[in-house]
Structure 1
Amino acid sequence: MKKILMILALAASLSACANINEKEKVEKPKLEAVKEDDNNESSNSKEDSLETVGQAQNKEDGDLEKHTEKIYEYFDTITDFIAYTKDEKEFDRYVKVLKDELKTYHELYNSYDAFDGVNNFRTINENAGKKPVKVDPKVIELVEYSKEMYDFTNGKINIAMGSLLGLWHEYREMSLDNPDKAAIPEESMLVKASAHKDIDSIEVDEKAGTVFIKDPNVQIDIGAIGKGYATKIIANRLMEEGLRHGILSVGGDDVLIGDNPASENSYYKIAIQNPNLEDKENPYSSVVSLKNTSVVTSGDYQRFFMVDGKRYHHIIDPDTMYPSTKWRSVSVILDDIAKADTISTYLFIIDQKEGMEFAKKVGAEVLWIDEDYNITSTEGWPEAK
């Protein structure tokens, strides 16, 4: 799962907006639930809502119109896109770029589905121990980046853990489909799968343009890395095309582009979901005001299954081979969406002292929520403005 955010990309109040068109007057802003991401077992599902109000005035850009788009086809999740543009034609140009990029990375960064003429991570996994696979340079870039993240997270975030993660994924799907027969993998199965996670068994030949898994039992899972990495690339592409103000949320990997021209103080408001879903009076654990950055939350409360009254979620601690029990939710604010995506999972499986030190080292602001719903955060965690 990854992240539950409710994005309130709105002006501080209706009075902060200018020239609200008739459609905006009739259709009041509302929150819209977004499906969880279920593309990879180690990724976190997200539920996001985007809300904006009216047209905005910006000193540099003049009057800007708010436009929104939902895209359902890619990464087995929903992409929400908000942009403030001069007109609909400009927005449509961004949407075309966005869809083209999403399609490309959805097909390349896919461990489950096959596509005609595309060699992706499924292709690489199917050929583990057999032969190198010729791939697009974008796949090689992600593999090399993932190896950097392995070192960056002291080996905790490891794309070579696909056998272990795939086993938990299989049992989760089976248990959800047949709750009366819900079960967890046997210890011996976990030990066997966990024995095959050597990231050095994944070999890249840049000259030949190939990726090869030497160990036939190693499988690649990019769930904690792939979508955030793709989101960063796509957001950068949109900005290269001229986008100055907006939000790109790919299944809850959320990039805030520029500032909010519909707000008097130029900030977007972000509400962090309360992991205690039964607390209807307090749906949010924190509301922050942000701009020109990214936000990601890892949580255990969306993708899980129950066995004998115990919840088993999808974020697996490689040291124990079982779902981590340290936190209910970890939220990360960092300018780099790719790193924020990975860091949120990493912090979810380590203790707070270590996490605090890591957050300080990388310059991230973090909010932790434990099993008893106690909240702690880094000193710089922002409040709403």
Structure 2
Amino acid sequence: MIILMKFILLLVVIFLLSCSDNSERLFKETRSAMYTVTSVTVTCKDEKVAKKAIDEVFEEFKRLENMLNYYSPHSEITLINKSAGIKPVRVSKETFEIIEKSLEASRLTEGGFDITLGPVIKLWDFKSKIIPSQESIKQALSYVDFNKIILDKKEQSIYLSKKGMEINLGGIIKGYSADRAIKILKERGLKGAIVSVGGDIQGFGLKADLTTWNVGIQNPGPLDSKDELIGTVSFSDKCISTSGDYEKYFILNDKRYHHIINPKTGMPSEGISSITIIAEEGAFCDALATGLFVLGPTKALNKMQQKGIEGMIITDKGVRLMTSWFEKNFKTIKNPNSAIELRT
């Protein structure tokens, strides 16, 4: 009888262990990709399945890097730039798609987002703390105009109509690559995942404990608070992106010069310290965070309310302006070490 009881107990233990092994778990990989720190976290029962899906995502990141890299002499972007004012360039489906989305974001933000801004951005040296001359800015601005990008859908070609123009997808490529990653993970049958490409974050489904993904929002305040969180947002099947004047800047004569340049003036945008956007699609989320930042707080908030774009603006005076959805879902926290999956 004792032997039988021990045998039954052993079977129960084995059964419980097998159930535990078959439960949903989180698997995470963090690597350097898309010119930044990138992480992929998935909900899955099988470690091998999770690893294979994550590896596939990073392979896709590598493919996109090679295709869309502004600095690579062999990328399609470089070929488009070299052919400016000369001829249209036939491109891949992905290159055409991301440029098409860029132009949509430009129109929506009234030119606040502009992938032709490269000639101006190159003038700003944030390491050496050099402010470009007005003459050089004026000259560079003559090459900045998203309306001069000609798309031919039938030929799947891109043409920059003025010689000297350049496109740089730095303001949209992270969100676009997150879109591609989520698509792959869904196709592989995963029930939930969250992808962060340098702070552009997109998630779907739920975590292993059946709760939504929790993302912390960074404090754009003074230097001693830059690693703190001002609050969190929980969501599923959405993406979140933040642009802030604290990411890259220098201070000269008590004035802060940051990297978010206004395409109309060639100077750093004014009025906003950070803006966080929530959207359905990563590419637009990424681009809108930059483009709306440039518009300034009043115009940006009006545009968000008109177009149904959710988010929060923190002005350079520290005032928080939120849309209705964001206000309902935003949770203020005082503890900078609160439990979160990622931060934006």
TM-score relative to the length of structure 2: 0.83
- Output the aligned Cα RMSD: 2.4
Residue number in structure 1 paired with 2:45:
86
Residue number in structure 1 paired with 2:96:
140
Residue number in structure 1 paired with 2:305:
360
Cα pair 2:297 2:315 within 8 Å, conserved? no
Cα pair 1:120 1:135 within 8 Å, conserved? yes
Cα pair 1:183 1:307 within 8 Å, conserved? no
**Alignment equivalent of 2:236, drawn from 283, 287, 291:** 291
| Distance of 1:284 and 1:200 partners within structure 2 | 38
Deviation of 1:196 (Å):
1.6
The 4+ residue runs of structure 1 with deviation greater than 6 A are: none
List gaps (5 residues or longer) in structure 2: 1-18, 333-344
Cα pair 2:273 2:315 within 8 Å, conserved? yes
The answer to whether residue 158 in structure 2 is matched with residue 158 in structure 1 is: no
Deviation of 1:206 (Å):
4.0
SS at 1:131's partner residue? coil
Residue number in structure 2 paired with 1:71:
31
Deviation of 1:273 (Å):
0.5
Show the 5 A alignment for 1:325-340: 325-340=270-285
Residues 101-154 of structure 1, C-alpha deviations (whole Å, 9 max, x = no match): 101111112111234xxx421222123233333322211222222222222222
Show the 5 A alignment for 1:108-257: 108-115=67-74, 119-168=75-124, 171-172=125-126, 176=127, 179=128, 182-257=129-204
Residues 35-65 of structure 1, C-alpha deviations (whole Å, 9 max, x = no match): xxxxxxxxxxxxxxxxxxxxx99xxxx6112
Residues 307-357 of structure 1, C-alpha deviations (whole Å, 9 max, x = no match): 344321110112322001211111111222221111111221123332222
Residues 207-255 of structure 1, C-alpha deviations (whole Å, 9 max, x = no match): 4443232211211122222221222122122211212212101111101
| Distance of 2:240 and 2:105 partners within structure 1 | 18
| Distance of 2:317 and 2:285 partners within structure 1 | 25
Structure-2 change in CA distance of 1:100 and 1:328 (3 Å): same
Which letter does structure 1 place at the counterpart of 2:119? S
Deviation of 1:257 (Å):
1.6
Number of aligned pairs? 312
SS at 2:206's partner residue? coil
Question: Which structure is higher in helix share?
Answer: 2
| Distance of 2:122 and 2:227 partners within structure 1 | 35
Which letter does structure 1 place at the counterpart of 2:234? S
The answer to whether residue 318 in structure 2 is matched with residue 373 in structure 1 is: yes
Question: Which structure is higher in strand share?
Answer: 2
| Distance of 2:182 and 2:73 partners within structure 1 | 25
| Distance of 1:199 and 1:275 partners within structure 2 | 30
Cα pair 1:334 1:363 within 8 Å, conserved? no
List gaps (5 residues or longer) in structure 1: 1-55
Cα pair 1:269 1:384 within 8 Å, conserved? no
Deviation of 1:85 (Å):
0.6
* Structure of greater Rg: 2
Which letter does structure 2 place at the counterpart of 1:236? K
Deviation of 1:281 (Å):
10
